[in-house]
Amino acid sequence: MERVIRAYSSLIKKNLDKPELVKFLIRLGLEVAKLWVDYTGDKYVPESLRYLNSICFKFILEPLREPENSGFVNLLAPTEILHSMDIYPLFIEAYSSFTSGFYCEDILIDKATTEGISDTLCSYHKAFLGALEFSILPRLKFALTSSILCDGNSNTFRYIAKRYEIPYLIIDIPYEYSEESVSYVVSQLKEMISMIEAATQKRFDIDRLREIIRLENESKKYLRLYLEELKSHTMPNSISLEMYKLFVTHPYIGREETSKFFKLLAEDITKYPNSGYRVFWVHIMPYFSYPIQRYLNFNEDFNLIGCDLNFDYLEEMDERRPLEAIARKLILNVNNGSFKRKIDNIKKLIVDLRIDGVIHFCQWGCKQSFGGFMLLKKEIEKMGIPFLAIDGDAVDRRNNPEEQINTRLSAFFELLEQREKRW
């Protein structure tokens, strides 16, 4: 399999001077991958997660198949509004992840830095900007981002919009929650709706948005159910699958497929026993890293219980006032504002999910997360929970010192094994 992907990768790399061909190749690759996932499912993987894998490919393919009906977004953009207008989001972090799945991230990243983009920028952004510079990204109708999570967003989206001459909007999310900050965000959401209406010639309908919020609430209901069961069950999991969950806990949460997935997930979990040590992951995962795969994929002794990014806002939303609800959701996201919010959320999850050990991934260039990792470490160690920080890169394979990661992980798991189970 790897040989096939490598050959495909070098085909893409050789043809970068023919953007239309490369666009086609990338789409083709994803179409084939989707078929592969749909028809060769591994029986060991729970049904819900197989379904998840399949819908993620569907989601990423939609904007590639219908660029005239799609927009660029980031992980924390208010995509509910897009879903309500049947517009497809292309979320750039996912696109960049797929480029490393295709072994093409290196050449894209090098392109971006050759053009003057800082090499200390997060690789999710660099790979995407490289694809932009090679013109292998489809030209979608607009670019939309929120200002939270990291600095890269506002700059990357402004850059895309300028390069492709498409409308662009950054939703500036205030640091703290207040009535004024909600109305600041709501007025920007309205601006966003006008922008999308103008760019796509589609009409916004607030009742459709209410339906999306209803679906989102349904998904969240199952997600909370799953969380409850997760306290006493452990389900087969892998670092890739945990990353795929970001699709459904974020940009695609208002979709029907998503609520179907969460329903299946909440059912699946009850079928599995409780086994082994419970490991919790903070921040994203380099899904291609062999040492991490070896320790955390489908391992009954060390179970990957979850990743904090998938639990950043679980509250029910008020469907009667959908725009205010979206504004509230963005402002109160644990990744907005002070780092303490994130720490408290993780501490709560550790207790709720009876976690035995925490691994924090310091993504190359991600200042917002690694800037605070020492604070998190202190707090978690105060709880008596072992904490490991790993430096690496979830997109650029070259920034992952495998031997080092391997040694640190083995030492960490040895340490876990020597301890009494805590809960």
Partner 1 sequence: MVGYVCKYTPYLVIESFGEKAERIEPEVNNYEIANSLTHSNICSYAKLVLEDIIRREIDKVILTNCCDSIRRLYDILETLSFIRFLHIIDLPRKRDQRGRLLFKNEIIRLINRYEDFSGKGFDRIKFRSLLNSMTSSVERRYKDLNIVLIGSRCKDSLIKSVEESGGSILYNLTCTGSKPQYRPIGLTEDPIEAYANILLDSYPCIRMDDIKERLDIITGEKRIDGVIYHTVKFCDLYSYEYADIKDKINIPLLKVETDYTDTSEGQMRTRIQAFIEALRGRNNREKEFKNAKKKLIVAGIDSGSTSTNVVILDSDRKILGYSILPTGAKSLESAYKALEEALKMAKINIEDLSYIVATGYGRISISFANLEVTEITCHAKGAFFLNREIRTVIDIGGQDSKIIKIDRDGNVIDFVMNDKCSAGTGRFLENMSRVLEIPVERMGEESLDWKEDLEISSMCTVFAESEVISLIAKNKDRRDILHALNKSIVRRIVSFIERIEGESRYMMTGGVAKNIGVVRCLEERLGEKVIVPDEPQIVGALGSALIGLERLEG
User: Which residues here bind ligand SF4, judged by CB under 6 A?
Assistant: 93, 122, 124, 149-150, 152, 284, 363, 365-366, 368-369
Interface mask toward partner 1 for 373-402; x: CB under 8 A: xxx---------------------xxx-xx
Out of 46, 89, 152, 286, name the contact with partner 1 by CB under 8 A: 152
Residue 159, contacted partner among partner 1, ligand SF4, none, CB below 5-8 A by kind: partner 1
Does 123 sit near partner 1 (CB under 8 A)? no
Separation between Cα atoms, residue 312 and residue 272, nearest integer Å: 25
Shortest Cβ 103–ligand SF4 spacing (Å)? 20
Q: What are phi and psi of 89, to 5 degrees?
A: -85, 145
Task: Give me the DSSP letters along 62-97.
Answer: HHHH-GGGEEEE-TTS-THHHHHTT-EEEEHHHHHH
Instruction: Specify the residue, 142 or 244, whose C-beta has the smaller distance to partner 1.
Output: 142
Distance separating alpha carbons of residues 104 and 127, to the nearest angstrom = 9
Q: Which stretch binds partner 1 (CB under 8 A): 7-15, 69-77, 183-191, 348-356?
A: 183-191
Structure tokens at 108: 């894209």
**No. of helices (H) and no. of strands (E), the chain:** 18, 8
Q: Give yes or no for residue 117 binding partner 1 (CB under 8 A).
A: yes
Distance (Å, rounded) from C-alpha 33 to C-alpha 302?
A: 29
Q: How far apart are CA 99 and CA 84, in angstroms?
A: 29
- Work out how close the CB of 231 gets to partner 1 at its nearest, in angstroms, rounded to a whole number: 29
Q: If binding is defined by CB under 8 A, does position 147 make contact with partner 1?
A: yes
Among residues 242, 333, 283, 238, the alpha carbon closest in space to that of 124 is found at: 283
Q: Which does 284 bind (CB under 5 to 8 A by kind): ligand SF4, partner 1, none?
A: ligand SF4
Residue 234 near residue 272 (C-beta atoms within 8 A):
yes
Per CB under 8 A, does 251 bind partner 1? no
User: Which of the listed partners (partner 1, ligand SF4, none) does 176 bind, with a CB threshold of 5 to 8 Å by partner kind?
Assistant: partner 1
Q: Are 342 and 308 in contact (CB under 8 A)?
A: yes
**Number of amino acids touching partner 1 (CB under 8 A):** 55
Tokens of 88: 């497809």
The smaller minimum CB distance to partner 1, of residues 191 and 316, is found at 191
Residues 339-368 that bind partner 1 (CB under 8 A): 339-340, 362, 364-365, 367-368
One-character DSSP codes across 191-222: HHHHHHHHHH-----HHHHHHHHHHHHHHHHH
**Coil, strand or helix at 20:** helix
Q: How many CA atoms lie within 13 A of 174 on its CB side?
A: 15
Residue 172 found at the interface with partner 1 (CB under 8 A): yes
The contact set with partner 1 (CB under 8 A) reads: 106, 110, 112-122, 147, 150-152, 154-156, 158-159, 162, 170, 172, 174-176, 180-181, 183-184, 187-188, 338-340, 362, 364-365, 367-368, 370-375, 397-399, 401-404
